[in-house]
Amino acid sequence: METNIQKKPVWLRIIRWTARIIAVLFAIILFILFTTTDMNPLLRNQHDYFIQILWILIPIGFLIGLWKEGLGGLISFVSTLTLILTFIMKEGHRDISYYIYIILIILLFPSILYFIYWYFNKTIKAKANSNHD
């Protein structure tokens, strides 16, 4: 009996687990932030539901990435970039502090790690299938 299971390189598993750990920590922090404070510095207008939805989609994308790295990375990456662009378009350089942009850029790290893992995992599987045939 032959197995088709390809052992993944250690560096790929490190990327995957790093993305997972950071994503879970960020998701927990964001969900705690949503439930315990009014998010005043991060959410200027409490009735801006588009921004609220984006803030909710980011940690949801992180958690989906635990199961499907490509999809979770895509959801969180697009949500974070959309939020950055929305802040730039709505706020410009007036009342918003630069630390919010730094926070948003830091929130991109798990998404990027998910994408890196997804891409290399797909590449390794394709090579294994082509060598196996």
Q: Are 73 and 111 in contact (CB under 8 A)?
A: yes
pLDDT of residue 2: 47
Q: List the chain domain ranges.
A: 17-34+48-127
Q: What is the DSSP letter of 6?
A: P
How far apart CA 23 and CA 29 sit, in angstroms, is 10
How far apart CA 103 and CA 118 sit, in angstroms, is 24
pTM to 2 decimals? 0.80
Per-residue pLDDT, averaged over 6-24, amounts to 89
pLDDT-derived band of residue 64, with 50, 70 and 90 as boundaries? very high
pLDDT-derived band of residue 77, with 50, 70 and 90 as boundaries? very high
pLDDT of residue 117: 94
Per-residue pLDDT, averaged over 51-59, amounts to 87
